[in-house]
Amino acid sequence: MKCPYCSFEESKVIDSRSADDGERIRRRRECLKCGKRFTTHEVVETVPIIVVKRDKSRESFDRNKLTNGLVRACEKRPVSIQQIENIVNYIESTLQSSLDREITTKQIGELAMEQLKEIDEVSYVRFASVYRQFKDINTFMEELNKLLNDK
């Protein structure tokens, strides 16, 4: 495993433990050259999920893109990185357990909004405004009214 600090290719495993209900293994490593420690995650390779975008182009599912979108929506909100990771893990496992190998961005966005709605309503509205491409204040107000009526 290449060290993220000095790029040396040898490290030793200091600690290994199960993470995400046994779905991955978390390893603490120490670089044999610079001595700095870093964490890696080992995951079972799965059949790739293809995401069909709005313009009908296709690309592989990228959990980092989803994580970054959720982090932006939750910025300066009381949502922890662990909660965001849990959402991403939930969405990824839902997609993996689905029989469909192609999934639309709409389906991913709906799953993300469903999870955000339960954690933080402001983050939910932020995510929805980007995901649903609100064009004006009326569209924004419609979403807020739906949120209020659901309560």
Q: What's the angle, vertex CA 9, arms to CA 5 and CA 13, rounded to 5?
A: 85
Packing angle between helix 137-150 and helix 121-131, nearest 10 degrees?
140
pLDDT digit string (tens) for the chain, length 151 residues: 899 999 999 999 999 999 877 888 999 999 999 999 999 999 877 678 899 998 999 999 999 999 999 999 999 999 999 999 999 999 998 998 888 889 999 999 999 999 999 999 899 888 988 877 777 777 777 877 887 887 7
Residues near 142 by beta carbon (within 8 Å), at least 6 away in sequence: none
Residue 36: per-residue pLDDT: 97
Residue 97: per-residue pLDDT: 85
Residues 32 and 10 sit within 8 Å (Cβ to Cβ): yes
Q: Is 148 left (phi over 0), alpha (psi -120 to 50) or beta?
A: alpha
Residues 103 and 95 sit within 8 Å (Cβ to Cβ): yes
Residue 28: per-residue pLDDT: 96
The model's pTM is: 0.64
Residues near 131 by beta carbon (within 8 Å), at least 6 away in sequence: 69, 109, 112, 113
CA distance 19 to 33: 27
Task: Give the pLDDT confidence of 98-138 residue by residue, as tens digits.
Answer: 888 899 999 999 999 999 999 998 998 889 888 777 777 77
Instruction: Please name which of 124, 112, 115 lies closest in space to residue 148, comparing C-alpha atoms.
Output: 124
Residue 136: per-residue pLDDT: 72
